[in-house]
Amino acid sequence: MDHDLYINLPDGYSKQGKVRKLNKALYGLPEAARVWHEDLEEKLNTLGFSPLESDPGVFLCKSNKGIIAINMHIDDGTGICSSKEEELELKAGIQKFYKIKEKESSKPFKVLGILVTRNTHDGTLKLSQPEYIDSMLKRFDMSNCNPIAKLVDKGSHLQGTEAAIFANEKLYQALTGSLTYAVMSTQPDIGYIMQYLSQLNKKLLLNNWIVAKRVLCYLKGTKDVGVVYRKVAKSKKVILGM
């Protein structure tokens, strides 16, 4: 840390009434996240990585062998390499500074609540959020709702004709915020309707709340669907989704 910080000793120590100076940041301190990121960036710089200006949590390393990308969220991160050789070099380089715990990529695993399923036989990588969607259904009391196949019925209007007011703005904002995270992660198919609903955070109508809950019904029926990346020939630089 770049300044002195003192803490009270926890119960059980003999010298009560004394304070102690911290030699390094502890988890949970306001400074901890900043200190950790500064240390991580310094270590990755020695390995040839530089953070993106648009996202300081993403680090890139370019070489003649290809590009290595690391995406970090606190101490949880993922790495993408162009070859197995680069992957081994990346692991060896990071292990010089930190202990790392790898997740078995041959089995489904979660990163920031996103389920990653890899099929090496078909050359696919699938990202989905079934547990996150289940938690939203439970949080907004929609666990027993009937799943639907369409977000909006043909001929219906999002604005609706009812003038009834929905007074609980915080509840509506909580739902639209939760749904927006799903859009950004694994559910781009609800992006259009969420762009509309997110603009209506004030002076809400009851119909706005009904439409938002309908999105939950749709997600219940598609929670196991996600974004799928497929391996293609080296000459074809294409990303296939959904």
pLDDT string in tens for the chain (242-residue length): 667 778 777 777 766 667 878 777 777 777 778 888 888 999 999 999 999 988 888 999 888 778 889 988 877 888 888 888 888 888 899 999 988 888 777 788 888 788 989 888 888 889 999 999 999 999 999 999 999 988 877 766 666 556 778 888 899 999 999 999 999 989 999 999 998 888 877 778 888 888 899 999 999 999 999 999 887 766 555 444 43
> Final residue of a domain: which of 72, 102, 132?
102
**Are residues 116 and 223 part of one domain?**
yes
Answer whether residue 69 is part of any domain.
yes
Query: Could you read off the pLDDT of 74-118 as tens digits, one per residue?
Result: 778 888 888 888 888 888 999 999 888 887 777 888 887 889 898
> Final residue of a domain: which of 102, 120, 138?
102
Answer whether residue 108 is part of any domain.
yes
Answer whether residue 150 is part of any domain.
yes
**Are residues 68 and 126 part of one domain?**
no
**Are residues 215 and 131 part of one domain?**
yes
Which amino acid makes up residue 61? C
**Are residues 138 and 96 part of one domain?**
no
Burial 137-154, CB ≥16 within 10 A → b, else e: beebebeebeebeebeee
**Are residues 156 and 126 part of one domain?**
yes
Helices (H), the chain: 32-46, 84-94, 130-139, 169-185, 191-197, 206-222
**Are residues 97 and 112 part of one domain?**
no
**Are residues 203 and 225 part of one domain?**
yes
> Final residue of a domain: which of 42, 72, 102?
102
Domain that holds residue 58: 19-102
Q: Which of 214, 222, 203 is nearest to 158 (CA)?
A: 214
What are 72's strand-pairing partners?
Answer: 77
**Are residues 78 and 38 part of one domain?**
yes
Q: CA 172 to CA 18: how far, in whole Å? A: 48
**Are residues 76 and 196 part of one domain?**
no
Answer whether residue 40 is part of any domain.
yes
Helices (H), 57-142: 84-94, 130-139
**Are residues 148 and 54 part of one domain?**
no
Q: CA 66 to CA 227: how far, in whole Å? A: 25
Q: CA 35 to CA 40: how far, in whole Å? A: 9
Count: domains in the chain: 2
